[in-house]
Every structure is written in C-alpha cells, then in structure tokens.
Amino acid sequence: MAFKKKTWADRMVEYAGRRKLTNISTKQSIICDVERSEGTISKEGDAFSSQNMNDLEQRIEDGFTEVKQTTDGINQNLASGQIEFSFQDGKGVYRKKGADTWLPFSSTLVLMDGTGSYAFGGINNGYYSNFQLDNFDYSIYSKIRITNLGTYPFEVVCGTTSYTSPGTFDIGALKQTTLRIFYRGAAANPPILLKVELIP
C-alpha cells in the first residue's frame, strides 16, 4: 500500500494558556491564565508543531520514494528482469516475472530443480557439473533438502559438511559460507536430476 502523506495544521485558539479550575467540593469555578515556570532549560527539545510534523511526513514520503526507486532498479537489472521484487505489508516479496503468486523472502529457495540441465566437461570418460555459491547468507534458512531424481552420484558441500545421500539436513548453524554441488554422470552427457532446496 502506498504511503499517503497527511498535512498537519496547528491548533488555533484565542487564549492558549487559559484554563478553568473547578473546586470539586464547592463546585465553584475560576478561570486562570497559566504559563510555564520550569526553571533552567537544559535542552529545548522539538516542538510539536505543524511545521515539524509536515517535515516528518515529507521525509517519510521521500523514504518510500527512494525504496521504490531502488526496487524498480533491482527489477530492471536483476536476472535480466526475470525476477521481480516488491513490498507487501512491509515485507519483501519476490516472484518470477509475469507469475501470479508473490513469495516471501523466507520461502523455500530452489537452487536446482532437477530438470533441464546437463553435465559437462569430461574426466576419465565421465561427465560432471560443478555448481558453487560463494558467501551466501544462510541466516533465514535452517535446513537443506536434497532429492536425487536420477541414479548418478553427487556431493553437496555446505561449508565443511558433505552430503552424498538424499535427505533433509540441518544447516541452522551456518551463517555465511560456500555451498558447492558436484554431480557426476557416466560416459554419456546425462541430465542433472538433482533437486536442492533451502528451507526456512
């Protein structure tokens, strides 16, 4: 929801310091003019005024504008525009461009989906693929899920921990390190049937 700026107005009265005092026993009332008598003022502080409040409104609006400009820039540049970012209810969300569904940043992150890629590069008449993600922030993820949809061996390395079998594993202790995925085929050039997901 877009920020809607409010225009504040000062309260205008005839006698700003005038008060009515009523004796609760006799019910008699007197009208008095009161003024501050606060002794030495060590710090003036900021007055609650229309000028100060409207300045605050403007700075908030400028902040929202800056965030939108930054978000638009990310949308334009990131992944050649294939991924869109936005904010909903004060939270960051993303989606594949043109998709109907926005996902929160804390959703499961699919690094490899098990389809469409092929191993490359020959070693001893075999084929392999090596995927590496450096200096990645794992702080919002607690687990990694590995699914091998094929029959070829693999190795997934999170920091110093190695996984060679499918399953869901705890990575909550990781914060920022390297994730490496190594997939080996046979003498042919096989599809990489490995699905790797990070789970909040």
Q: Give the pLDDT of residue 66.
A: 80
Q: pTM of the entire structure?
A: 0.45
Q: How confident is the model at residue 119 (pLDDT cuts 50, 70, 90)?
A: low
The CA angle 51-57-61, to the nearest 5 degrees, is 145
The tens digit of pLDDT for each residue in 34-71 reads 988 889 989 888 888 899 899 999 998 888 888 777 76
Q: Give the pLDDT of residue 105.
A: 66
Q: How confident is the model at residue 175 (pLDDT cuts 50, 70, 90)?
A: low
The tens digit of pLDDT for each residue in 66-113 reads 877 776 666 565 555 577 777 777 666 777 777 787 777 667 888 888
Dump the DSSP string for 19-48.
EEEE-TTT--EEEEE------S-S------
Q: How confident is the model at residue 198 (pLDDT cuts 50, 70, 90)?
A: confident
DSSP code, position 70: H
The enclosing H or E element of 94 equals strand 91-96
Strand residues in 97-166 grouped as ranges (E):
103-104, 109-113, 120-123, 126-137, 143-148, 154-158, 161-163
